[in-house]
Amino acid sequence: MAEITYDIVKEYGSLSEPGKSWSKELNLISWNNRDPKYDLRDWAPEHQKMGKGITLTEDELRALRDLLNGMDL
């Protein structure tokens, strides 16, 4: 299995702290030295381990924002 590298370019914030001191965070991350994308996933403290998550381009993040703004929450 190929090694996955990442560089957290910008930390936007934590949405929740699910348990075991991990937190669900929105960050801007460069994966494998590629252009950074917006990333939503669970992280262990100090970002030493990560859970499964999703990555979004800027256009996809805007589309998600628009969908959320249109929801009756």
For residue 40, give its domain range.
Answer: 6-69
Average pLDDT value for residue range 5-27:
89
| 26 is a domain residue | yes
Percentage with pLDDT > 90 across the chain: 81
Q: What is the pLDDT of residue 2?
A: 81
To which H or E segment does residue 69 belong? helix 58-69
Q: Which residue has the higher pLDDT, 17 or 68?
A: 68
Is 1 within a domain?
no
Q: Mean pLDDT in the chain?
A: 93
Domain CATH for 43: 2.30.31.70
Could you tell me if 4 and 31 are in contact, meaning their C-beta atoms sit under 8 angstroms apart? yes
Structure tokens belonging to residue 10: 């910008």
Alpha-carbon gap, residue 71 to 53, rounded angstroms: 22
Tokens matching residue 69: 């703004």
Domain count, the chain: 1
Residue 5 has pLDDT above 90, yes or no: yes
Q: Closest Cα partner for 38 from 50, 53, 23, 22? A: 53
